[in-house]
Structure formats: C-alpha cells, structure tokens
Structure 1
Amino acid sequence: MSRAVFDSSEYQRRIDRTKEKMAERELDALFVSDPANMNYLTGYDGWSFYVHQGVIVTQDRDEPVWVGREMDANGARATTRLDEADIRPYSDDHVQSPVDLHPMDFVAGVLEDLGVSDGRIGLEMDAYYFTAKSYTRLRKNLPEAEFEDTTLLVNWVRIKKSEQELDYMRQAARISENAMQAGLDTIEEGVPEYEAAEAIYSALIDGTEEYGGDYPSIVPLMPSGDHTGTPHLTWTDRPFRDGDPVIIELSGCRHRYHSPLARTTFVGDPPEEIRETAEIVIEGMEAAMDAAEPGVTAETVEKAWRDTIAKYDVEKEDRIGYSMGLGYPPDWGEHTASLRPGDETVLEENMTFHTIPGLWFDDFGVELSETFRVTSSGAEPLADFPRKLFTT
C-alpha cells in the first residue's frame, strides 16, 4: 500500500505542469534523475540515489515511469501511486558491473519501449547524480535520439508551493525551532562540539509532540571560534572555549520539505565588534524581507540588504538567499531563483526562500537566517525564533 504524502490531484497537477513545460521545449520525453524531482513527480522516497535511478515523463502517457535498482522496486511500490507497469527495475548486475553493463543501458531500453528512442529527450545534465558516463551510454544506445539539457525544468515547476507543501514546511519550521534551542542549550565552555551536534540531531529526529522529523539534506553546520569566518564547516571533538563565537545552521525536515534556520551564539561576553556585526546583519536581513513581495525582483530584495549594510561601510559579494523547499542530500536548494544582483526573477505568492545574509571575515563571522514564504502582503517567516546574538 502506498504511503504517498500527497493526494492524486496534487501529483496530477505537477505532471500536467511539467508536460506544459516539455511542450514549450518540444520534448517527447523527459528523464529526471534529481531525487527531489523524482519525489515531486511520483512521491518516490528512498535512500537509493547512490545508484542510478530516474523517472521518465512522456507526452502520450498519463503517468511517469520509475526506473531503478531491482531491490528498490518495492520502495517505489511503497511510496508512489504508480501502477506495476510503470515500475521498471533493472537487475543488480547493472550496479558497479563487472561485465560492462550500466543502468543507462536499461534506461535506454525503457525509452525505446516507450516509443521515444528517436525523439527529443530532455536530460538533467547538471543534476548531482547524473554522470558523464550516464550521458555517453544513453547516446551510444540511442543514436537516433536528440538530447537536450533540461536540468532545471522541473525545478522551476517546483518554485511555487501548494498549501500542503507549505504546511509541511511550517511543520519543518517547528522542528527547526526545537533543534536550534537544543543546540543553544548545549553550547557552553568545556562542552565538546560533537555534544551540541548530538543534541541538534536528536531534536531534528524527535520532531514535535505531534510528528517526528526526517533526516535533513544538509547536516547541521557548526563552525566555531576563528573558523566562523568559514560558513560550511561542521563540528569536531574540540571543546567550546570562552571567547568562541559559534554559528549554527540547520533545518528541520518533514516529508522531505525543509525550513532552514541559522543563528549565532557566543561563549562568554561578546566583544563590541561582534555585537555590532550582529546588529548590522539583523537590520539588513529585515530590510530584505520587508522588500519581498509579489511583483518585485529577486535582485530588488538583495538591494535592500546591500543598501542597508552600505550605511555601515560593509560590502558582501555573495548572494543572500535562494529558493528552496523539497530536497535530498546534498542540498535543500532548488537551484532556481537567488537573491543576488542580476537575478530578475519576479517574486510570486507562495514562493519560498532561505535568506541567509551572513557576514564572514578572516577571524570571525556572524550568521542569522530565516525561511520565508512570499504572501500577497509580503514575507511570512516560517519560524518564530528570536533574532539576536545569543550568549552562553
């Protein structure tokens, strides 16, 4: 029995919208290998993305076709609403094959069976789990096909969320709040960094009294001390020391939907430089969120941040946010709109963004972030957590 977390009408809407985008590109078929996009179109949810798998959408079939490893076919039966004929498993001798078999050989056979072997086929050429060899094997097996790079086709369909998606993101936000508080409560002088990570992970899985949590697409990030100038470090067995700034970035996850949250704390009494930097980050982030509303561009939101921090003679070249929601490792971002100069994406209601305007210097950094939904009246933060520099 399927444990799909959306009803059939939700999946049908997604498939129909994807087919509209395919028609605009004159595609006969689309091969989707991004596990988030596979989930979005079918509900498939398994830790099987370390081997080749995918979903095929064609214009003349009502339902997609799942292709994956034979031992994962029951996972497709358990998590999707697909009929048995739409679940196409390949044998295990295609995995790290000693006899020069490759999963894309099987995928090519499915595409031929679906009558599109000489058609225009879209591929997610820059997806994490679609390799160069995958492409060369498809080309070898389907010499009459015309392949087109459609890496972000489904991602752009995903950018506006349904009410049920937003509900799951709000639930993820409740988990994020609990996990952030667990981390802040654990961090103090003499406590090893891994104990704070343990507390965060426990809270991410424990969830709330009403529901549990899932594994996030990105592990909790927790640089400390002079390493807070480098935002993407995790944790060590080093004990926290008096005078350490500590950044925590994490996300609760509910049915693969995320709501990231970041805060900075300080072990001891923070120096004035860090206090002032935190105030600048908070003021700039709030200015950016105040600017976010339907009809403005992504770069307009970033400009509100840039203009604010410029008053303090501070510059930041990195983007300050990105669209996100559904995700699998190694990323919860959608890879579409970014809050940065030059991005002219027009914000629409029910888009969701993680805005993370941290400031990182050579010897310290300060980071605060919010996940927000674009509403008819502006930005709605999904989490309810104090925006301040914490201390222990």
Structure 2
Amino acid sequence: MIKELHFELSEFQARLAGVKTEMAHRGIDILLLSEPPNQNYLTGYNAYSFYTPQMVIVAQDHDEPVWVGRFMDRVSATMTTYLAEDNIRAYPDTYVQSATLSAYGFMAEIVKELGGENARIGVEMGGYYYPARGHVDLTRALPDAEFVDADLLVGWIRLVKSPAEVAIMRQAGQLADVAMKRVVNTVEAGVRECDIAAAIYHQQVSGTAEFGGDYPCCPPDLCIGERSIAPHAAWTDDRLPDSTVVNLELSGCRHRYQVNLARTIVVGKPSPSFQDLSEIAIEALNVGLEAVRPGRTCSEVESDFRQALARHGIEKESRIGYPTGIGFPPASGERTASIRKGDETVLRPGMVFHMMPGLWLDKVGITITQSFVVSDTGYEPLTTTPRKLFVK
C-alpha cells in the first residue's frame, strides 16, 4: 500500500518526544487530541474525515500514538501515517450519527487498554473538534480518571517550525503568489465576483508547473465595493463596476501547511486619499516587518507598527498578525501567539506569522499583508507578491 508521508520518521519521533516532555511537565499521563492539525503533526494523518469523531491518543507508556476514527477511514490512516497497524483503530459505522452509541465510549475503552482508567487525562477543551457531548461521554465512561484542560499543549510546540516544515511553507507561499497573480490578471470591470473566486480556487489547487496545492482550510475573503470595509465578506455573482475596490485575502496550501496573502486591487483610478492610505499602510507594514527579530516580543513588534500608524493619526484596534502552519477547516491561525499589544511571546527562529495589518475604517478598507518566517537575524518573506496597491 502507498505511503504519503512528507517527513522523515525521525521528525515525527522528535515531535512526539517534545509533546511527551510537556505532558510530563504538566503531570498528564494520556493526551487526547481531537484537533486535526495536531493529529496531522504527530502522525501525518490527512483525510477529510474530521466531521465524525476522531482522536489521536498519546500515552506516556506507549511508543506510538494511537489513531482512532471511522472504519472507512482506517485505510487513510494506513496510507498517511507511520503508525503500526496495531495503533490504528476504527469504530464500526453504527457509531456514526447514532442516537444510542457514542464513538467516545469506544475511544474510552482504548484509553483503558492504555492504562488510562485511573489516569490524569488531558483534552483539548478549547478546540474546534471537541464537542461538549463527547466530553460528557468520555467522563461518563472513565469515572475514575481525572480530566484536565490541555488545549494548545501541542499548539505551542507547533509554533516553532522545523527546517523541513519551513521548506514546505515556502512552497505554500509560491502557491499563494501564483493565485494572487491570477486574480490581479482576472480583475477588471464587468467580471463577476464569483468568477474571480473560481479563478482563485482553480489556481490554488492547480498550483505551479512543479507542484500543486491542497484545498484551503477557509474560503478566500473577497470584499468588494461597499463590502471592502468588512474583513471577512463573501462574494456575490454581481459584476465589477467601472470603479471599485477589491480587498482579497487568499492562501496557498501545500501538504496542509498554509500561507496567507492579502492585497487590495482598485478598478479604475484610485482617489488621491486612497492612494495616500495605501502608502501609509505599506509604510507601517514595512516598519512592523523590520521590527521582527529573534528575542523581541510580539508586543514590541506591534508597538513599532502602531507608532508608525499613529504618525498619520490612524489607530488599529485588532491584532496585526497570527501564526500559521498546518491548516484544517475552519481556520488557518494556530490560536497561540498574536502580534498585538500585551502579547509577550518571544520570537524564535522558525516561527511563521501572517502579518495582517488590514485597515478597516468607517468608509474605506485596505489589506496589504506579508507572511514570513522568523530567521536567525530578522524575517524571511514567504511570498514575493509586491507589497503595493494594484490598479487595473
């Protein structure tokens, strides 16, 4: 059977060792991972199966993680993970959307097998894929275990990427660049918004001549005209007028690693005030990027950016950056560090961020951004699309 692993076994072993070290520090015997990015990080597992209960179990006394999921997805676990067959478990289809059977009860029996009946068990309480009903079923099936919140335990470890991960993210950046180039070439008066979205999806997946892309973990934000002041608007089937603003955020995704990119495109001649705003946004973005270097904090980087904006009488309330890496729906951000006031996370080489200093003011919005990896001396851009306002 084919294997679709994108990292050496030694990389997975190092990741697992790091997680177990943190588990020991917190006194956790068994860790239940419900978040697809964390499952992928520790095992390589990749299939669109996370809409049903799915778990990766890490036990201190067990050499490998144990994947547990729907029976029909067992083959994907065999194809995309390094796990031995004994560590790939599957529940029958009778558990899927059942009113009487709980897949979490099935998982609890495996936890008992791993010595977890009286263990201290960590779960991802803040995750997208850990439902309240699942937690109730687990605690009911394991009444003598102690459950503790281990949300983001793996997330903080994932924040620093290995050289092999950064290499994949460089490819994801190339995918974002070619998708943005396709959009810039597509946008013109009379083109339907939905056709712009279709061009994005086509290019994201077809990729470059050398490699293709994966499905993104979230749709492109295509904010046009009056919706250009809305950060996360959807497209319509309207045609672009002769003069309008297109704010677009898209991504490139390679082996589930996602790199984001946003640009503003103006159809027609931009007003002098909007042209000035674009130059202010670019200036502040560049100041923020130049503030990036190992040893500085996220808050210090944001402060430099904020001061650059303040010189022009503009204030941005929201954060200006978030980390990306392995991405599954519904979001690309890693939910750990943020480049914002008060975040004292210290930058380290290998951290990847999307610096997203979009400005959404009362009547206008503009989005010119840069994804980067923290290098030994500063930052390395992961995309090469010019940081400028595009005019069509």
Common fold by TM > 0.5: yes
Q: In the alignment, is residue 145 of structure 1 matched against residue 159 of structure 2? A: no
Question: Who is 2:251 aligned against?
Answer: 251
- What corresponds to 2:173 in structure 1? 173
Equivalent position SS for 1:147: strand
Question: RMSD value over aligned CA atoms?
Answer: 0.8
- Structure 2 stretches of 5 or more lacking a match? none
Task: Show the counterpart of 1:127.
Answer: 127
- Equivalent position SS for 2:223: coil
Correspondence for 1:329:
329
Contact persistence 2:189–2:243 (CA under 8 A) = no
CA separation in 1, counterparts of 2:97 and 2:251? 33
Structure 2 CA distance for aligned equivalents of residues 67 and 138 of structure 1? 14
Q: Which amino acid aligns with 1:252?
A: G
Q: Which amino acid aligns with 1:94?
A: Y
Q: Give the stretch that moved more between structures: 272-281 or 248-257.
A: 272-281
Aligned to 1:90: 91
- Contact 1:227–1:363 (CA under 8 A) maintained in structure 2: no
Give 5+ residue unaligned stretches, structure 1.
none
> Conserved in 2, the CA contact under 8 Å of 1:327 and 1:333?
yes
Matched residues in 2 for 1:208 and 1:36: separation?
Answer: 25
Partner of 1:221: 221
Whole-Å Cα distance in 1 between the matches of residues 222 and 274 of structure 2? 17
Query: 1:1-392, aligned counterparts within 5 Å?
Result: 1-98=2-99, 100-392=100-392
Q: List, as ranges, runs of 4+ consecutive aligned residues in structure 1 with deviation greater than 3 Å.
A: none
Q: Give, in whole Å, the separation in 2 of the partners of 1:313 and 1:53.
A: 49
Give CA-to-partner distance per residue, 1:309-358, whole Å, 9 cap, x none: 00000001100001111110111111111000110000001111000001
Percent identity, aligned pairs only, is: 47
User: Cα deviations across residues 229-284 of structure 1 (Å, max 9, x unaligned)?
Assistant: 10101211011112211011111110001111100011100112211111111111
Paired with 1:207 and 1:275, the residues of 2 have a C-alpha distance of 32
Distance 2:117 2:219 in 1: 40
Aligned-residue offset at 1:72:
0.6
Instruction: Check conservation: 2:228, 2:246, Cα contact below 8 A.
Output: yes
Indicate conservation of the 8 Å contact 2:319/2:338, yes or no.
yes
Query: Deviations along 1:16-75, whole A, 9 cap, x unmatched?
Result: 000001001000000001000000000000000111101000101110000000111111
| Cα offsets for 1:92-119 (capped at 9, x unmatched) | 1111104x11111111111011111210
Question: SS at the partner of 1:222?
Answer: strand
Q: What displacement does 1:163 show?
A: 1.0
Q: Give the distance between the partners of 2:374 and 2:52, measured in 1 at CA.
A: 36
Contact 1:94 1:102 in 2 (8 A): yes
Matched-pair contact (CA < 8 Å) for 1:319–1:340: yes
Instruction: Provide the rounded CA distance (Å) in 2 between the counterparts of 1:73 and 1:363.
Output: 51
The code of the aligned residue for 1:215 comes to Y
Deviation at 1:364, TM superposition (A): 2.1
The letter for the 1-side match of 2:178 is N
Displacement of 1:135 in angstroms is 0.6
In structure 2, C-alpha distance between the alignment counterparts of 1:197 and 1:244, rounded to whole Å: 17
